[in-house]
Amino acid sequence: MLCVRSFCVVAGLNVAFLAGAPSRVADSVPENVLVVHCDQGKDLISRNIYGHFAEHLGDCIYGGVWVGEDSPIPNTRGIRKDVVEALRRLHVPVLRWPGGCYADEYHWREGIGARDQRPATVNTHWGMVVESNHFGTHEFLDFCQQIGAEAYISGNLGSGTVQELSQWVEYVNYSGESALAELRRKNGRREPWGVTYWGVGNESWGCGGNMTAEYYADQYRRYATYLRDYPGMRITRIACGASDADYRWTEVLMREAGRSMQGLSLHHYTWARGKTADDFDEAGWFSIMKNARLMDELITKHSEIMDKYDPRGRVGLVVDEWGTWYDVDAGTNPSFLRQQNTLRDALVAGLTLNIFNNHCDRVKMANLAQLVNVLQSVILTQGEKMVVTPTYHVMEMYRPHQDATRLPAELVCRDYRLAQDRLPALSASASRDASGAITLSLCNLDPKRSGLLQCDLRGASPARVSGRILTARAMNAHNTFDKPHALEPATFNGAKLTGATLQVTLPPKSVVVLRLE
């Protein structure tokens, strides 16, 4: 996806930008042009790009997912029914668990068997709270089945052993006769679950052991050797990758261990220190959008290194932690990372998902942090109450991209300027599903100015267009338990189709998803 400032030529179209143009967009001069090659496309947008992450952190698991079978909150085998129903509407493809930093202090045997006999442990990473271990392997995999997601288990390399992780794979995946398979059956699960995705440590450069890249590469090869493919069950081994722009880590891992991995992770958070999620001005809006756009550069540069050692793209880039991170909500435990979720977060989600879609040749999975009540969550709970967030709505609106074919596209757009700084105002991605319908997802990052976008749909002549929009008057618009429907998608009527040309007027601070048939 190309976005160029000033004067440019794209696919034979001359586009001049009007410096200092008024806030009203002149209908006769499109400032933004998108060329979509509808008759091309070879890369699939993996549904796993729309994955999620649930850690034993704050109220994500206990209270957010798990309430116990004796709870007055409606549940199925201890798991909240309202959360399950909401997540099923998202078509959640994959869910990562149990961490995060918590993964490298989690010992799976403490979370199996009769719940009243499971040992209590201390969560040393997140507030020194006592963990009951009532939500363990069986409960997590039951939750995945209830919401229709595949499981992605993050294994303990930091404080665990090779034997411990190897035996966890056997317990979960082996269908034959062994002591561990028999233990699984004794604990209530006759057939194996067949978990494909296994992470080998988490943030091993930091909370997962403070290792050097060279040391971790050696450890990874050792652990990966003993993560067995049992009969009829091939697993995907995902190595701990870099934080942000640590390109040396990727270089070392691909050089030393690339042949023994199927995935390499990347973590990038969009930070705003000193402010809560709903307390910001336009400068706070701008800085978050600029930070979120960095994801494109990070994926591009890490992919270039991966291409050097893996030119065929066998190893997938797995962005298994991404999202916004602010100061916690007032009055909440600072270790629980609970934050509100506003229209600003919705724009970050739309922008980031567009980036992932456009890099789907290398990005094969991504996991939003986190699922419930923590960081950029899609759901908030409070006792028996539940509300979905603006980010939830974006994930639902983008659902048609899952397993669709990415359509190559070039975007030329004006800048969104604030003081002396600037960034491209628009973001876009396009795909074609199995029926031939085209999905176009668009974001206008400018909170004050509309954008007129002209789309050249090359190789297609759709007969009709329909769409939905998420926007609001206030930059910090959000849903609360008292007003759960304050911010929701609405029908979008700002697109006009004439043959193979589509004109779209994008309101300020909006996410728009169009379907062309």
Residues carrying an active site annotation: 203, 321
Non-local CB neighbours of 482 within 8 Å, separated by 6+ positions:
none
Residue of 491, 397, 497, 411 lying closest to 441 (CA atoms):
397
Distances (CA, A) of 90 to 6, 50, 167, 388, 430: 39, 9, 33, 11, 19
Q: Name which of 143, 160, 153 is nearest 194 in CA terms.
A: 153
- Six token digits for residue 149: 């997601």
SS3 category, 220 = helix
DSSP for residue 12: T
Q: Is 270 exposed, middle or buried (CB count within 10 Å of its CB: 0-12, 13-18, 19+)?
A: buried
Positive or negative torsion for Cα 478, 483, 488, 490? negative
CA dihedral 93, 489, 411, 39 (to 10 degrees): 60
φ, ψ at 472 (rounded to 5°): -160, 170
Q: Is 202 helix (H, G, I), strand (E, B) or coil?
A: coil
Give the largest Cα separation in the chain, rounded.
74
CA dist 140 and 277 (Å) reads: 29
Phi, psi of 206 (to 5 degrees): -140, -110
Radius of gyration for the chain, computed over Cα atoms and rounded to the nearest angstrom: 23
- State how beta strands 379-382 and 363-369 pair: unpaired
**Distance in angstroms (rounded) separating the CA atoms of residues 235 and 229:** 6
